[in-house]
Structure 1
Amino acid sequence: MRKFLHLKVLLLMLLSISCSKKDEVLRKGTVSLSLNANSNVTVVHFRQASSINVSSFSINIFDNNDKLVKEFPSYKDFPDQFYLNQGTYKLVAQSSPVTTAAFSSPYYYGTTDFKVTDLKSTKIDLTCVIANIKASVKYTSDFIDIFGEVYTEIENKSGKLTFENGELKEGYFSPDPITIKLYKKATKKLLISRTFNDVKPKDFYRFTFEPSKATGGISVVVDETVIDKNVEFRIPEKWLEVNTPTVQGVGIDLAQEQEIVEGNTKQTVVKIKAEGGIKSLKVFVKSANLLNEGWPDAINFTQLSQSDIDFLLDKGISYPTVINGANEVEIDFSGFINSLEAGQGVEDIFSFGFDVEDNFYQRDATKSLNLKIIPAQFTVNLDEGDVWVAKATINVTITEGNKDFVTVFYQEKGKSVWLKSKSYTTLNNKDYTYLLTGLSSNKEYRVKAVYNKNSSSELTFKTEEERQLPNAKMEDWYYDVVAPSHWIGYAEIRKYIPNSRGQSNWSTVNEKTTEHRGSFRYNYNSLSGTYNSSDSYKGSNAAEIVTVGFGSGTTNAGGASIVKKRASGQLFIGSYSYSGGSESFNYGMPFTSRPTSFKGYYKYSPYGNDEFSVEIVIENRDNGTVTELAREQYISGSKQESYTQFSIPINYSNTTLKATHMYVVIKSSIKSLDTRVVNGKHLGSTLLVDELSLNYN
C-alpha cells in the first residue's frame, strides 16, 4: 500500500492599512501551518511502514534571495499564525538528515515555492518524499539449500550494511552508486561483486538470489520502475565449481618489484585466468609520471576504443584480439619496458593494477605489476690523442644500460648552446665511441653524456690549432751570391733559399749543386736546382724544382758534354748541410696539429720516364724516441702543362699520441736523374709547385 506525507500550509492574508500624507502603506499577511503525516514511500515486501511522526520535522522559510526569514526546529514549535510581508517565498520541510548508512532510517525532504499577496490567502500542499535510497536482500530457500550460508554487504559512500540470511530490515543509503557483495559465510570468500551506478533518491533496490538450471554464467535481471528496482541474481549450480579469476606473472613474481635498468628490456608478461570467462578486465595506471605523460587512469581491455588500440600499439603493449569470454589471456609489457625512465640519480616505480571479473561476478582486484626502474650506470672519458682540430672522439662506457639511450652533448666554452651527437661506434659490449665534428680550431669545449634524465660528469678539452705550413704560398724567397761574376766571364753563382731572410723552415740541396765556386764556374757546372719562378698558380712566385747536372769538370759540349754529378731538385721542411762531398738531412719542424689532408698545385715536365714525389710525414718525438704517426706520398710521372691540384689524404697509423713534429719533402725526380743541355745548363725533369695547404676536415 502507499501512504503520503503532506505538509499543509494555510496562509491567510489580513490587510491592515493606515494612511497619512507621509506614511507608507505596509501590507502583511498572516501565515498558519497545518502539517499532516502522509508519505509517498516505496513498496516494502517484508514489512509495512509505520505511521510517520512529523512533529520532529524542521520547517524553514526563505525569501526570493534564499535568505532565511523564519526557522522552526520542529513542527511542534510552529505557531498558530505569524505575519509575512507580501512577496515570494520557499518553504522547506525535512526530517533529520541521515548521512550514514543505517537500517530503518529514512530521510524525508520536501520543498515548495509560494507567494504572499494582498487581500488573498494561499493554501500550500507540500509532499515530502524519501530523499535517500532503500535496499533489501532476499535469499530463496532453494538458493540456501544449494549454496549454504551466505551474507551480503551493500556499501556506498555513506557506509556499509551487512544483510544476514533472514534479514528483513531495509537499509537506507545516500543516493550514490552502491556495490553489493555476496560472501560465503564459512570461508568469507567473495562470491559476487556488482556495482549499480544509476542511483536516484527514492530508489528501492530489492536484491533476490535464486539458483538457475542454466550452465552459463550468472544472469542479472533488473526490473526498473520509477521507484522500485527488483534485481534478481540467477546463479547456476555449476558456479560452485568455478574458481575465482587469477592474475599472475609469467616467469615473474607479481608480489615482488621487477628491477630493470632504464633502457633495458625484460620479458614482462601478465597472465589472466578466468574459468568462468572474462567479463571485465581493467588495468589501472597508478604512476603519476605516466598520467602526466597522457596515460589514461584505466584501460578496459574488454571495451577497447580505437584510440585505446592505437595508444597500446604506440606503447608496444600486446594482447589477444579477443578477450571477452576468454578463459586465459596474456598482456605483454615487454615492448614497453625500455621506454621507462628512472629519476635523476634515483629509482622510479611504475605500477599497474589489475581488476578482472568473470561471468559469475567473481573478481580478483588484488594484483599489481610494479616496475622498479634503476638509473643506468655510465661514464665518459677521452684520450689526448682523440682530440683533433675539427673533431674529437668521446669514449662512453656503459656498465648498466642501453647504448641507444645515450646522447653525447658538447658545448664551446663561452657559448650557451649544447650540441649533440648520437652517432657511435661499438668497441665491445660496454664501450662505445662518439664522434664530434664541426669543432672550431684551438677552442675549449665541455662534454658530457646524457642518459634520459641523468648526466655524466663533464670533461673539458681543447682542440688543436689549424696551422698551415710556413711560406705555403711560395711567395718568400731570397738568394745568396756564393761566387761573384768575374771579368774574364765566370758566372755569378746564386744559392736560392725558400724563406724570408732570418727564417729557416724550408731547405733545398742548393748548397750541394752550387759547390763549384772556383775557376771556370759557369751555370752548366754550378747552379741552384730549386728557386722561385714567376710562373705561379697564384701570387707572384712559385717554387721551381729541377733535376740538374753540376760539378767541377762538367762541360757544355752538346751531346759530347761531360756531366760529373747529377741531383734531383728538392724542397723540404728541415735543415741541410753539405761539406766535402758529404751531405746531412735533418727533416722536420715542431708542429702540434694533425692535418687530415695535404693539397697543392703543380706543373710537371718529366724527362724520360721520370716521376716526381710529394711526401708528408707526421711524428711524435719524445725524449729521443720518434714514433711515426702518418706518412703519405703523392707520385706522378704525367706531364702537366697547366697547374693541376694534387691531394693527399693523411691516414694515421697511430691516433693515441699527439703530433710534435712534421715535414714535407718534394722531389723533381725519383726514377731518373738524366739531364740534357737546355740554354747552356744541364737540366732534367722540371716541377713547379704553388699554394700548398693543410686541411683539417
Structure 2
Amino acid sequence: MNKSVIEYMKWIGCLCLLVLCMVLGGCQSDEETALSGKTGLLITLTDEEHHAYSRTAPSELENPVTEKFQLKVVYSGTDKSAYKGSCKEFILLEEGTYDLTATYGDNPVLALDAPYYAGTLEGQEVIKGQMTSASIPCFVANSLLSVIYNKTSLDKLYESYYVTVSVGSESVDLDADSGKSAYFRAGSSVKLVFHGFLSGTGKEVTYDVPDQEQFSNIPVKTHVKVTLGLDESNITSGVGISIEKLETETVSISETIPVECLPKPKLESDDFVNNELSFAETEKKSAVIRLKLSSGLQDLKLKFNSADAKFAGLEQGKEYLLSNAEDKSAVGTALGITLPEIGATEDSLDFTSLIPKLMTDKGTTVASTIEVDVEANNRWASEDASANRIYTLICNKPELYLVTNPGNFWSKEFSVDSCDIKTGDVETISQKLQYQYRKKGDEQWINCDRLIQFDDYPADKQYQVRAVYREGIETEPVDVELETPQQLPNSGMEEWSTVKGETFTISDSWFKKATYYKFYPYAEGESDKWWDTNNLRSQDGNIILGMGHPVCFAPCVSYTEDVKHGGNRAALIYTSGHGGGYTSTGEELYTAGAIAGNLFIGTYSWTDKTETVNRGHAFSVRPTAVKFWYNYHPKNQDAFKVYVELKNGEEVIATGTYIPDPISSETGWQEGQVEVQYGEHPKAATSICVQFLSTDKTSFSDSDFDKNKSMTFPVMGDWRVHIGSMLYIDDISLIFDK
C-alpha cells in the first residue's frame, strides 16, 4: 500500500477503539428497566474476536453506517422470518429459538471502498419474560486489493499512471493518489492492467501486470497489496513494469470501514474556556487547538481577524487555505506559527508563541478571532453547525501596582519601592518600565528613576508618582506629600522661666538668708512645653536643724548670659554632686546622689527618690542630623553625650548618639553634629527627643567634682555647689538632607 493507505488503516484502527468505548457504555440501566418483563433480544455486533465494535444503531455512529446494518431473524432451521430490517438495539420476539444474520453493504461484484460485512448467530434461545443478550460476530465477507506505486522508479518514465482492476465485465481505476482499494466478492479472480503516460509526449502505454495467476480465487476477508515499479531491464522488450512486492493479509472490520463513514474532523482545546482565552498583554500562555482527525489532514481554512496593527498583512475576513502555498506562507509569517502539514494524522494549531505578541489598544482590551475549518476523510468540520470552530483571543491590560512607603517621603526627596506586576510577563514589563512624577494638579509627567531628589526644599509639597509600561498601560498615580522642615522650639536656648523656691538660713550665719529658684527651659506661661531637666533631683536636699547648706538646692541645668554662642543666652548643664534627697554640706559629698545634668525634650518628675523620664514630644518631620554648638569644661578628663531618638508611636524608628573623644581642657565654642540613622524600611515620625548629658558616666567618685565651688546663677545669685564637668549648649538646629 502507499503511504496514504497505510495512514488510512491506522486511523481506522483508532476508530475501532473509539467504537469499542461507545459499545461498552451502550447498555444503560434505564433502558433495561424499560424492557423489564418483556420477551426478546438485546443485540450487540462484535468482530470475530468478540470485541464489540458497535451496538445496533448506536447514536454516536453517523450515516451511512447506521443505515446500512441490516438484521434478519428467522425461526431456527426454517426460512420463516421473524424480523427483517435495520439493526436495532433490541427486538421483541416470541419465546423460541432463532437464527440471526447481520449484514452491512451490498457485496458488489467490484467497487471502490465498498466493504461488505456479515455475521451469523444460530440457535439463539429466547425465554419468555426475558430480554436475552445476543452477540453476533461479524467479519469482512468480501475481498480487496490495493496498489502501491514506487514513485521514485515510475516517475523516471511516466508523468502519470493508474491501474485498472477488472472482475468480469466490471472495472475500477486505482490512481496513485486516491488511497482507495478495490473490493470484490470473495473467491473472485481479478485482472490488473497498468496505464502509463510517457513523460514529454504524454503518450499512453498499457501493460498487463505480470503473473496474473496470483490474483485468482482470492479468499474472503483477504487484502492483496501489490507494489509496482519500473522494470528497466525489460523496457526494450515492451514490458515496462514489474511487481516489486506482493503481500496478502487477513483484514478485520476495523481496518476496512470506508473513510467517508469516519467521524467528521473536530477541533478541541483545553486552553480555551468556552472558546475564549483571556490573558494580559506580554503574558506567556498556552494556546493550542488540537485537530481531532480520523484520517490524514486534507486541507485547512483559517481566518484571523484582529484590530492589532501588526497583523495588517492579513486581510480581515479572508479565508486562507493550507493547500495554497502563498496563503500558508502569509499566515505563518504574519502570526509567527508553524502550520500543520497536509497528510498529518495528528497535529494542532499552536498559537502559544503569538500570545505574548498581542497588544491592547493603549490599555483597552483587544479581541482577535481565529476561525478554523478542517477537512479530513473527505469531510469538513463545518458540516456540524455546532462545531467549535471560532476561537477568541482576548488581550487585556496588564495589572500594575506601584509599591510605595510613605516612610520614604522626606523633605527634599521621595522614592518608589517597586512596581508590583500582577499580570503579564514580569521580565518583559520590568525591562521597559518607566517611572514618572509630577506636581499634583499638573498635566505634564516627568520621567525619573525610582528616587526623586530636589536640590533644595521645594515650595510645592504635593506630588504624584506612577510607573508606565507604555502609553495607556500605567499604574494608578500615588499621592506624595513631602515633609516640611521644622526647627525645635527654644533651639537657641533663649527662653527660660524661674519659679521661687524656699528661703532658708545659711548654716554659717544666723542672719544670712538664701533663696533658691527652679529653672525651666521654656517661657513663662508656655502651654506647650518641649524641654525639661532633672533639676528636681539635683535640688532635692535635706535641711538639718532648720539650717540650709549652700550646696543644697542648686539646679544642675540653668542658663547663662556670660558664656554664649549666639543670642543672649546659652544652656548650662553640669554634673551635680548633690541632690537626690541627701544632706550635702560644704564638706560632705554623697556620690550615691551624684547625677549627670540632663537637658532633654520630654517631661520629668522626681517623687520619693524615684525619677520618671518621659522622652519625646509630638513631631512629624524627620531630620537626618542634629547640629549644635557646645563649650565643654571637663573635670579632669571627661566626655559629654548627646542622644537623638525618633519614634512612630511606641516604636523607635531612628537614633543618633554623639560622644566626643575624652576632653581634658576647656574647648571653647565648637560645632557638634549627631547623625540620625533610620532603619531599612523607615516609617513616619510621631515624636522626637534630643537629650544633652553633661557626662556619659553613670557612676561617680569624689575626684569627679570640685567641692563647695562658688557659682553665680541668674536670679539666685552666688551659690556653692559640688560641681563636675560643665557643658554649655547653644544654637541647636535640625538638618534635613533628604
The two structures have a TM-score, normalised by structure 1, of 0.44
The two structures have a TM-score, normalised by structure 2, of 0.42
